[in-house]
Structures are given as C-alpha cells and as structure tokens.
Amino acid sequence: MSAIQPCCFFASGLSANSSGGIMETKRHFRSCSICESMCGLEIITRGPDILSVRGDKEDPLSRGYICPKGAAVKDLYNDPDRLKQPVLRTSGGWERISWKEAFDQTEAGLKAIRKEHGKDALAVYFGNPNAHYHGALLYLLPFLLAMNTKNRYSASSADQLPLMVVCEQMFGHMFLLPTPDADRTDYFLLVGANPVVSGGSIMTLPGFARRIKAIQERGGKVAVVDPMKTATATQADKHLPIRPGTDVFFLAALLHVMFREDLADFGWLGHFCDGTDHVHDLVREFTPEKAAPITGISVQDMETVAREFCQAKSAVCYGRMGACVQEHGTVANWLIMLVNIVAGKFDRPGGFMFPTPALDVAKALSLIGHTGHLGKHRSKVRNLPSFGDEFPVAALAEEILTPGEGKIRALVSICGNPVLSAPNGKLVEKALASLDFMVAMDWYIAESSRHANIILPPTNMLEHAHMPTMCHVAGSRNVVKYSPPVFEPGEDTRHNWQILKELAIRMEANPLMRNALRLTTPERLLKAGIRLGPHGAGVNPWGKGLTLGKIADSPHGVDLGPTRSCLPGRLFTKNKRINLAPRVIAREMEAISESLTDYESGGDERYDMLLIGRRNRRSNNSWFHNLERMHKPTNRCTAMMHPADASSRGIESGDLVRLESKIGAVELEAEISDNVMPGVVSVPHGWGHLYDGVKLSVAAKHPGVSVNDITDNLRVDPLCGNAVFSGVPVKVLKTTLSSIR
C-alpha cells in the first residue's frame, strides 16, 4: 500500500485490476466548482473510476449538502463528447492537432489580424466558469493585457453587472460585494432570487433550504418578492408576486415608508454616509399608493414589509438575477443597498456584510487601479459604456457585423457560449460565423465554439487543484479550502491556466513581461496572495497566520469565522465614506420618477405578456444538458404560464405554443401552473441545442429552444448596458405545426 497523503485523501481499500495489479480505493475531499455554492464533496475512487460522490459532512460551509449537479461531476469527467486535445476546423471536418501546432496557429492568426487591422480588431469573451477556478482567474488578466485590445466582453453584462456598478459607485470597488449574513438574520427579504435552486449567487451559502428553516425555528421570517412562486418562495413565510421589471417601484416604496414613518435609523453608519437628504428626496414621490398598481403588490404588504424589516433585531435585503437583468437593474440594486443602509442593517451581524476572504481580490486589484470605472470607453456602434474595461455583451454582435474602422475580426472565447447566453442569440450566431478567425477554450464543440478555427480544451475540474477564490469574495461566511486534483491529468492535456499563460506569453509585446510570466505558477501566486491577505502570516516566514500550506493540510477547509463589521476601513472610496446618491444613478432615478405615468398606462398592447427566466437544480447555464441523468421531468424547456392566461388562449399543458417578441419567435411545449403569476410566461435559459455541427450527443436528444432568440440586444439597462432578460414583452399563441428551426 502506498503512503497515505492526509491533505487530500486516505486509503480505504484495495482491489485488483484486470491485469492483476492492485488498485487502491481513495477518499478525496474538495469543493465542487460548478456553481457559486462551492459545496464540499467527498469523492471515492478506485484507480481511474469514481465509485461515489457525496456531500462532505465536515465541510464548514455546506456540512454535507450536495445538489444533483455536484453528484454529476462523475458524468462530466466521463462524458465521451468532452474534448481532451486541440482540434482544428477544416473543410473535411474537425481534426485533432498537437498543442504546439494549435498554439502556433492561434498566435499566427491573431497576430496577422492585429498587424493588418490594428489591436482593436481582436476581441475577448469569457464566460462565468472562469470565476470558479483560481487558475483561470490568476492568468486571465495577464492574457487580457497581452491581447492589448479594448474589446473585452464577458457574461457579467448578462448577469450581475448592475450590482458591480453600484458597489463601485457607492463603496469604491466593483468587487467589494456585500453578502447576507443569513445564519444570524431574523428577517430575510429576497428580491428576484431563488437560492434554494440556484445554490446562492453573489452569496456563497449552500443548502439554503436549511437556512430558511433555521431562520424560522429561531422565530424569524423569510419573504420573497418574485413573479414566480419558486422553490424558495414556497418555503418562505411570505411570497409577494411582482410584475416583472417593477422592482424599482417596490423598493423605493419601502424606503418612502421608512422615511415617512420615521423608521429610518442609519445608526453609526450615518457618521460616514454622504447624501442622506438626497436619497430622501429621490424616493419622496414613490409612495406605496403609486407603486401598488405598477407592481401588483398591495399598499398594505409594502407597508408591512418596511415595518417588519426595520423593526427586526437583524434583517437583510438581498437581490439577485431577477433584480439585475431588468431594464432598471442598476437602480434596483442601488435601492437594495439603501434599504439595508437606511434601516441600519448594513455592516452588522445578521445584515448585509462584507466578507474578508483569505485572498483579497478587491485589494489586490486596487493596487493596480482596477476598481471598476463606468464609461472609460464607448462602443463604436451604439456608444454603450464600458465598465471594468469591458463592453456589454449586448454590443458584441453589432461590433463584429458593422463594417468600418474598429470592426472586430477575431475573437478568443474562453469558457463561454454567447450564442445561447447573450441576447439575440441568432444575431450572435451570425456574427461568429462571419469572423475572420476565432479561437475557443471549451470542453465541447458547442453552439459557439463550433465557429472556432481552433478549440483548445482545458482539463476537467477533477484533474486540477482548486481554490474557489472569487466565490470567497462573496462568501456569507469566511472560509477557505485548497484541494489537490482527484486524478492526474491525462497525457497531452493542458490546464486553463497553462493555456492562458502560453497565449499571454506569445501575444505579449514586452519581453520583460514575457519573462516574468514564465516564472509564475498558480501556487506561487496563491502563496503570496494568502500570506499578504487579511488572515495571512505576512512576510515573516515563521508568521502564525494563514498560509497555503496550512490550508492544504485541512482537507475539509478552514473556517475563518463569520463576517465581521469592517466599515469604514474596508471602503475603497477616496474619503472612506459611502456615497449614498451617486450622480449617475440619482439622475436615472429622477428620470424614472418623471415617467411614473408611463408605467401606469402599460406597454405595447401587441405583446400582452412578460417573459422571465427560470432556474432548475439540474441545469447550469448551457453546459449541463449533455448528461443523461440531468434530464429528469423537472428539468424541461417549457413555456410555463398561469391557468387563466392559458384558458383565454385555448392552451392546455403539452400543447405547442409560439412566443413572439419584436425580434423573433420560438415554439415549445406549454406547461400550465399557478406558480407563475398571471400575465407572465417563464422559459428557462441555456437551451437550444439545435445547430448543425454541434457535438453534444445527449443534448441533441433534448434540444429545447433558446429563449435568447427572442430577447433583444437593443434593450439594455441604460446606465451600464446590461442585457434585459426579465420583463421582455411577448405574445403567446397556440400553434400546431412548428415552423422554426
């Protein structure tokens, strides 16, 4: 028997393999890296086989909880469609090539376009899986600097960009993200969030159903504001159905009541907040009486929520996807911050608090001035603002398709699938097909990567070490874990960071930077970052604080304790004060106030229903549909609508229906449920595996439709350009014959 390695596993048995050799049964502990929950996993292996995947009961955060996606890491690892070596697209199909040839051709293709058309003819898009792996995060910035183009795009602007803008405007840094102290709160108000299903997002807190029960058992309350009666709303004490896209009016009405009834109590926060009177003025017109007919929430319910929130010993208001991907997502997220601050529930136990992660990403980026900046650049076609040196993904297709100086001609896509995840997917599809050159880092030949000239597949998540650095930035409790790989990577494979590092070295013009990059590894960077972090041992080699070695010696993770009050010291604003009424947001709030009558009068009568999305435990954006075990009856691509809406249109469950918007149409099966409020239709995101050339054998059997074929890239948050996916006007018709491909 080989020696036991206590940092990652212990031997639990022996068995013979087919050749008569002995295979050892091992137990591995690591964090799941599929979503932001980062649940602890206990993985039992024998040789190259995974025998079981269970929740790690000793993980300080998840405490044994695991969702179906975590259990499916075995299927992801064994998926026969997963690429392991680079492939080249040729006239005769995809051909496997060596890594050297792949890197050589990538370098030549990108440099040729940069030489002929300029640096901004290149573009980069990166998807959200990059945030879940420290290797990708650590080498993404050097790669972007080496590419030296202002055309950067990511999934952030189809997701949480409004929240990041608010944090930069109010607190001085886009990654200074407050998170709910759910384990100590007495009143939890969730707006457009479904963490029982999503696992939490910008809130690393697995097993949320347990958290709800714990709040209720200690006499607290949970209230959910959402157009759907989600799994979270079902378990809550109160569900308030709200008309999609009207969160601004509900939240402003809460603040109005707080000021009107003298419930506002900033407490000690008032000593370092600027703009209190301005905030009061901005919400003065947003009475519950005006908000009720717009939102569909009664005056009494709004007043009750405001009072209960302020009077609770501890409380937190948290918004997520639904609060971000609407027309006024930035203003909605700003109001969520104000609800917490005005009620005195900010930076205190049980409220909205800032974590102090072992690797302080916000502080590290601030040292190079990368705190986020709105409007540093403007997109060529539509003049949309950049933020954090990225343009909104809603502008990507038009920047590729529009002729003239600055046209994007080459794209590097890093672990993303914009054809299914960006608005107006058909236009994105057309744009990618028109590129002169494209490179994709992807496990699969999927809807977007099929347009690449070269695909560079990274290793599977079980084949590399893992430390969930970015998710700790939004941790509801300060924990840290470093996990070694479960399996040694296969022959002739490359990790994400190795691919990004190689491309950065090849594209970097500065020889000093190239040489410096060659000396780095993720572990060296992690060691330095942890030592110099808020819990670190510092430069003293005998320091008593945290080190990477100490973390690695704790296979279940290190519990660094609950979040703690840290203001004003944690602020990144120059004056160490909270800016309650940032000028750009206040102006937009004033414009919304002036157009109250427009909201009361309704929208375009041709499109009489509003489209929203839907989360499912067995889905993860567009890349979990190639696993057979994920295709259960609960995970289907359907148009869910209220019985009253279905009856008026002669629609029954199982009928084929057509959803039309201003830009297109999709046809899919109807699902009738009173879990969705009248006037609303819900379609899940990430489906639409219908394109020719996609190599996803299981997904092709359950293709569904892409809801982003009917979301409009021209409809964005006016402040930051974030895509609008919630509250999209559509009409729903019964049909009998599908005519859409």
pLDDT exceeds cutoff 70 at 16 = no
Q: What mean pLDDT, rounded, does the chain reach? A: 93
Q: Which two tokens stand for residue 102?
A: 């792949």
**What whole-number distance in Å separates Cα of residue 472 and Cα of residue 483?**
15
pLDDT tens string 301-347? 999 999 999 999 999 999 999 999 999 999 999 999 999 999 999 99
Judge whether 83 and 445 are in contact, CB under 8 Å: yes
Mean pLDDT of 281-285: 96
> Cα–chain-centroid distance for residue 486?
26
pLDDT tens string 56-77? 999 999 999 998 888 899 999 9
pLDDT tens string 168-181? 999 999 999 999 99
Pick the range with the lowest mean pLDDT from 33-47, 134-148, 191-205, 614-628.
Answer: 614-628
pLDDT tens string 543-585? 789 999 999 999 999 999 999 999 999 999 999 999 999 999 9
User: Among the CATH numbers 3.40.50.720, 3.40.50.300, 1.10.240.10, 3.40.50.740, which is that of 87-159+360-562?
Assistant: 3.40.50.740
Pick the range with the lowest mean pLDDT from 67-71, 417-421, 667-671.
Answer: 67-71
**What whole-number distance in Å separates Cα of residue 311 and Cα of residue 258?**
11
Q: Which CATH class is domain 9-78?
A: alpha beta
pLDDT of residue 6: 33
User: Cβ-count burial of 15 within 10 angstroms (0-12 exposed, 13-18 middle, 19+ buried)?
Assistant: exposed
pLDDT band at 453 (very low <50, low <70, confident <90, very high): very high
Nearest to 547 by CA among 359, 355, 354: 359
pLDDT band at 653 (very low <50, low <70, confident <90, very high): very high
**What whole-number distance in Å separates Cα of residue 611 and Cα of residue 729?**
6
pLDDT tens string 230-260? 999 999 999 999 999 999 999 999 999 999 9
pLDDT tens string 586-621? 999 999 998 777 765 455 667 899 999 998 888 877
pTM: 0.94
pLDDT of residue 3: 35
Asked if the peptide bond before residue 568 counts as cis, ω within 30 degrees of 0, the response is yes
**Which DSSP state fits 451?**
G
pLDDT band at 19 (very low <50, low <70, confident <90, very high): low
User: Among the CATH numbers 3.40.50.2300, 2.60.40.10, 2.40.40.20, 3.40.630.30, which is that of 603-735?
Assistant: 2.40.40.20
pLDDT tens string 353-412? 999 999 999 999 999 999 999 999 999 999 999 999 999 999 999 999 999 988 999 999
Q: What percent of the chain has pLDDT over 90?
A: 84
pLDDT tens string 498-551? 999 999 999 999 999 999 999 999 999 999 999 999 999 886 767 789 999 999
Mean pLDDT of 425-438: 98
Single-letter amino acid code for the residue at 268: W
pLDDT tens string 185-227? 999 999 999 999 988 889 988 999 999 999 999 999 999 999 9
**What would be the CATH architecture of the domain defined by 174-355+580-586?**
3-Layer(aba) Sandwich (3.40)
pLDDT of residue 709: 97
pLDDT of residue 12: 45
pLDDT band at 632 (very low <50, low <70, confident <90, very high): confident
pLDDT tens string 720-740? 999 999 999 999 999 986 544
pLDDT of residue 599: 67
Judge whether 449 and 442 are in contact, CB under 8 Å: yes
Helix/strand/coil for 189? strand
Decide if 9-78 and 603-735 have a common fold: no
Q: Where are the domains of the chain?
A: 9-78, 87-159+360-562, 174-355+580-586, 603-735
Task: Name 207's Cβ contacts closer than 8 Å, sequence gap at least 6.
Answer: 37, 39, 62, 63, 65
